[in-house]
Structure 1
Amino acid sequence: MRSELISVATGSRETVHDITAECAEFVRAQGEDGLLHVFVPHATAGVALLELGSGSDDDLIAALRDLLPADDRWRHAHGSRGHGRSHVMPALVPPYATIPVLGGRMALGTWQSVALVDLNVDNTQRQVRLSFLSH
C-alpha cells in the first residue's frame, strides 16, 4: 500500500473544501487499478463525495448547521461556542471515503468531487491521508 499525507488550509470558517485535484494527482502517479482511501485523522472533520460548485456545498453546510447548531447544548464544551457539534459531525459525514481507481483515474460519477468537510473554526489546518491499494 502506498500512502501520502497532504495538508489542507481550511481557514477559520465552516467549509467544504475540494480535494479532488490532489486525489486525482495521487492516483495518477500510481498508474494502475486499485482503491483510493481518503482519511481525515481528525475528530472534527469528514470526507464527502458530492457535486461542488452548484450550491450543494453551501446546502451541506446549511443542513449541518440545522442538524448541529453552534449553541451551548453540547456537553463537549471547550473551544468556540458550539464546538461539541464538530465532534458529532463525523458520525454524519464520516472521516473517510473509498473510491475505485481504474487505469490511474478515480471512477467518480460525472458530477462527484471529493471534499473535506470541516465545521471546526478553531483549527485552520488539516491533514488528509491518501492511501492507494493496488489490485
Structure 2
Amino acid sequence: MTQNFTTRTLDLTTGSREGVFDLTRECARFLQEAAQGRDGLLNVFVPHATAGIAVIETGAGSDEDLLAALKDLLPADDRWRHRHGSPGHGRDHVLPAFVPPHATLPVVAGELALGTWQSVTLVDTNVDNPRRQVRLSFLG
C-alpha cells in the first residue's frame, strides 16, 4: 500500500486573552485536499512552548470550564520560577504538560473520525503571544 504524507501550517491570531480556539473546520478543509477520501492519521501540532491541543466539546461551556480548571490548577501569580512576560507567565510554560502540544486523530474515508461532540482545539493561555502556528500533517 502506498502512503502519502502532506503537511500544512496554519497561521492564527489568538488575541490578547486566554482562549480555546476551534480548529475542526480547518482540519476538515485540509483533509479534503490532503486525504482525498483515504484512511489515515491526522497529526495536529502546535510548535510553541506555551500552548496545547485538546479534543473537547466546544460551545456548550466546556471550553470555558477547561480555562477555569487551568486557572485553578495553574494560577497566574508569582509562584513560578520562569518569570519573563506578564505576571504569572511561568504557568503558560507548564501548560503543555497538562494539555499536550499535539494530537493524532483517525481519518476514515477522508474525514476526521471524531465523536459527536468532539472538536479539535488550540488551547492558549499566553496573553503575551497573539500569533500562533499549528501544523497539520496527514499520513495515509
TM-score class, shorter-chain normalisation, is over 0.9
1:3 aligns with 2:23: no
TM-score, scaled relative to structure 2: 0.95
Name 1:38's counterpart in structure 2.
44
1:24 aligns with 2:28: yes
TM-score, scaled relative to structure 1: 0.98
Matches of 2:54 and 2:18, distance apart in 1? 14
Secondary structure, aligned partner of 1:94? coil
Name 1:103's counterpart in structure 2.
109
Name 2:55's counterpart in structure 1.
49
Gaps of 5+ in 1: none
Secondary structure, aligned partner of 1:59? helix
Deviation of 1:97 (Å) = 0.3
Amino acid at match of 2:41: L
Instruction: Say which of 84, 87, 91 aligns to 1:85.
Output: 91
1:71 aligns with 2:91: no
Gaps of 5+ in 2: none
Give aligned-pair identity as a percent. 66
Deviation of 1:123 (Å) = 0.3
Amino acid at match of 1:111: W
| 1:33-86 CA-partner distances (Å, limit 9, x unpaired) | 100000000000000000000000000000000000000000000000000000
Matches of 1:99 and 1:85, distance apart in 2? 27
Deviation of 1:28 (Å) = 1.5
Instruction: Say which of 41, 64, 85 aligns to 1:58.
Output: 64
Matches of 1:125 and 1:53, distance apart in 2? 23
